[in-house]
A and B are shown apart, each in its own frame.
Chain A
Amino acid sequence: MKVSIEIIEKPLPEKIVLQCYAVTPKVDMISRYVKAMEGTLSGYAEDQLHQIFLQDIYYIESVDNHLFAYTEHQVYELKMKLYEFEELYQEQSFFRCAKALVVNLMKIKNVSSILNGRLSAKLYNGEEIIISRLYTRELKRILSRRQ
């Protein structure tokens, strides 16, 4: 695939156009990557495709091989795997906190200790999720590194 960059003058809007014969997984991956950089991703709700702002997502959960993004009022199904989401968005405050869960660190109000070495994270929408013992150390490391 040929890559070309064209310098434009302001106030023309910056855009990325992918010219392709078909939307192959590779093209889809590039598209998702660009959207990730821009802070949005595509998700389905009631059979309709929506653009979701990353900062609106509270957490991502994998249920029976389906991936769901939870926002304040809506649940969207994402057409990707949890590990793909994790890889794409880990630099944007998303953290794998359990086997099937990735949480947006910006949406955690506070964490508290519960028995068995796990932490309970209270989100700003009032929901509570469990941070598994295996991921607590990693969370501490990531947070220390980000400061």
Chain B
Amino acid sequence: MSIGKFLKQCLIQFFIISTCVTLATAVVGPYLLPNFKVGFETFYSPIMVGIICTLPSFVFYSKQELDLRHTIYRRIIHMVMIAGGLTVLNWYIGNFVLISYIPAFVMTVFVIYVIVILISWILESRDAKFINEQLNKLQNSK
């Protein structure tokens, strides 16, 4: 993939993450913390999360197609970078009242990351199944 296409993809990813974090905060926030009032500085939060989740995507950049082994290595690095970045951000803004919150937070990020990969793998497996069926038909028809 060219660097231009990769950057475009990262930009799209950034806006999707920022929007989803804003939506999630707006929808879930009133239920979890109904009496909590936030200031203007809160608007930086989705942007920061977007940046922290997008920047590690650069570990996937390669001019050549990555094989499965390299993809897995880079996935692990990507996951650790995101978890690390989000932990530092939350620690910096004082979200961790107790130090024991940190492992629970990191574990939550890992679980969400794995679920996202699993969902995307299931969708791609559907594509693979469809292609296999069509290939089978094509090869038997000739």
B108 interfacial by beta-carbon distance below 8 Å: no
B130 partner residues in chain A, CB cutoff 8 A: 140
Chain A contact residue count (CB 8 A cutoff): 26
Of A16-24, A28-36, A102-110, which binds chain B?
Answer: A102-110
A116-B71, A132-B65, A140-B130 are contacts. A106–B139 as well, Cβ < 8 Å? Answer: yes
| Chain B window 47-83, contacts with chain A (Cβ cutoff 8 Å), 1 for yes, 0 for no | 0000000000000100001111001100100000000
Of A43-51, A65-73, A117-125, which binds chain B?
Answer: A117-125
User: Would you give the shortest CB distance from B1 to chain A, in whole angstroms?
Assistant: 8
Number of A-B contacts (CB under 8 A): 65
B65 partner residues in chain A, CB cutoff 8 A: 98, 118, 130, 132
A93 interfacial by beta-carbon distance below 8 Å: yes
A119-B127, A146-B138 are contacts. A111–B132 as well, Cβ < 8 Å? Answer: yes
Taking a contact as CB atoms under 8 Å apart, the answer to whether A105 and B127 are in contact is no
B16 interfacial by beta-carbon distance below 8 Å: no
Of B20-28, B29-37, B99-107, B118-126, which binds chain A?
Answer: B118-126
Bound complex: CA A115 to CA B76 (Å): 12
B12 interfacial by beta-carbon distance below 8 Å: no
A5 interfacial by beta-carbon distance below 8 Å: no
A4 interfacial by beta-carbon distance below 8 Å: no
Known: A119-B124, A140-B127, A144-B134. 17 other contacts (CB 8 A): A93-B138, A98-B65, A105-B138, A106-B138, A110-B132, A111-B131, A112-B125, A114-B71, A115-B72, A117-B120, A118-B65, A132-B65, A139-B131, A143-B138, A147-B134, A147-B137, A147-B138
